[in-house]
Each structure stands twice: as C-alpha cells, then as structure tokens.
Amino acid sequence: MTRLAVPKTYKLYIGGAFPRSESGRTYEVVTAKGDFIANAAQASRKDARDAIVAARGAVKGWSGATAYNRGQVLYRIAELLEGRRAQFIDEIVPVEGVSASRAAAQVDEAIDRWVWYAGWTDKHAQVAGNANPVAGPYFNISVPEPTGVVAVIAPQDSSLLGLVSTIAPPLVTGNTVVVVASERFPLSAISLAEVLATSDVPGGVVNILTGSPAEIAPWLASHADVNALDLVGASALDWVDLQIAAADTLKRVLPPEEGTDAGAPSLERITGFTETKTVWHTKSML
C-alpha cells in the first residue's frame, strides 16, 4: 500500500516552546532542484519582540550559572547533535544539493565546533581578563562579563555549520541569543531547536526565528532591549542602515562576513559579546 506523504510545517522556537508565527504566515522550503520539502514559519516583528522578551528573561539565570555548568550544558548539546547526526545529513543533502559525504563533513565540523566553544566557558576569563598594574596599595583586576541579549543574523549559505558558528560564541560567556536562521535552509535550525528543547538549556536562552532576515533584522537592530548585534550573515542586506539603527541604542556590532566559513571559530567571537568589569580592592596592611 502506498502511503501519502505528510508535509510538515516547522514552527519557531521562542522561550523554550514551538509557537506558530503570530502572523500565521509560512513559506515553502524546497530542494536545490525546486521540489517542495516542507513549510516553515515566517516570523514577524511581533515574533521578534516575543523572542527578545524571552531572551531577556533568561539572561539572569544563564549568566548566573557557573562557567563550569555552562560548559557541561553546552557539551551535552554536542552529544545530542552527535546522536542526530544522520538526521542533519539527510536534511542538508536535498536543500543544499550536496553529496552525503559533504553534508556529513559539515555536520561533523558543526559538532566539533560546538565542543570547541563548550571548552572555552571556564577558560576565556583567564585569557580575556587580567590583573592591572597600579601605583598604590591596591589590586586592580579586569574580568569579562556577558553583555546580555545578542541578536544574530546567521550565515545564509549554510544549513548547520553557520548557525552553530554564530549561536555558540555568545552562549559561552552567559549571553542569551535571538537568531534569524538561513531563509533558504531553515530545516537544520528547527532540528537544532528540537535538540535544545531536549537538552539542559533553559527556555529563552536560545530563540530561533525563520523567515526573511531583511524583514526581521531592522527590528532587532533598533530594539532597545538588544545589547549586541552579530551581522555575520547580513552581507546581502543594507547592513550599514542596520549599524546606524544599532548605534542609536549603543549596541555592540560585529560586521558581516563572506566566504564558505563565515563565523569561523575564534576567541574574538567570544570576547566580542562581553563587557569588561574592572574592580579595585585595597591590599591588606597586615
């Protein structure tokens, strides 16, 4: 007996839940050959606001966790990604039109990259912080702290690797994230959301929107409750206007990147979303 296919409509991931877009809009996800695969939610301005609210509510708990605990949580995500390796490969092959071996290489690199960032949670402070020399009986110490809510335009030419490369760095230091996934390749983003929902990551720490970056990015750039903006995947947008909008609310901004490995791993992607806190303390005179 021939079974009828059951087309899937993928939802957003906001606050640890999977809501439909409040606008009710969806768009078709197709293969590299133009064949229909599924429907994805097309996020609206209201969805972006809801995601920011969820991210702001999660900042205190996530940033307040110990660096060691954040590392454990992030490493658990890598374990879950490994367990779903075959699923991610199957999703990447048709939409990107690549071979199974090339898709597997992307998934493996994404998992390895997530592990690499997980290892930095309890180490970046030693590298980015320092004890400052002062002329007097004082200790003067600078330490990095999370900036808060980070909005991300993910690389648009990568299903999973670009997404991981831009979500993981701000999580390392205790930031929360609102990310606009690749418009053409959103399936891996929603599958990653399913991984996050079954992991130990608190709801609201990562919020994933699908749809048009050109529509959503201006609202993220101008929103006063977003503290930083990663435009790594915004090279095709009017990103200068996005920078201007971000400047109005004093956001920290990382510029667009181009190439097959936009968002390549680096310590700078971690420290780019931190603020430096400097503390003075008198030395004991005993």
| Residue 178: CATH number of its domain | 3.40.605.10
Share of the chain above pLDDT 90, in %: 81
Q: Does 126 have pLDDT greater than 90? A: no
* pLDDT level of residue 284 (50, 70, 90 thresholds): low
Q: What is the structure's pLDDT at 130?
A: 73
Any bridge partners for residue 206, and if so which? Answer: 177
Is 4 contained in some domain?
A: no
Is residue 202 within 8 A of residue 61, CB to CB? The reply is: yes
Q: What is the pairing mode between strands 274-282 and 138-146?
A: antiparallel
- Give me the phi and psi of 170, to 5 degrees please: -65, -25
What's the pTM?
0.92
Number of structural domains (the chain) is 1
State the CB neighbour count (10 A cutoff) for residue 270.
Answer: 24
Kindly tell me if the per-residue pLDDT of 239 is higher than 60. Answer: yes
Asked whether residue 244 is assigned to any structural domain, the reply reads yes
Question: Domain limits at 185?
Answer: 9-282
What local confidence, expressed as pLDDT, does residue 139 receive? Answer: 78
* Structural domain contains residue 1: no
* Range of lowest pLDDT (28-32, 161-165, 275-279): 275-279
Q: Which residue is it, tokens 């374990």? A: 79
* 286: pLDDT strictly greater than 80: no
Residue 285: count other Cβ atoms within 10 Å of its Cβ. 5
Q: Is residue 155 one of the residues assigned to a domain?
A: yes
Q: Quick check: 10 and 190 in contact, CB under 8 A? A: yes
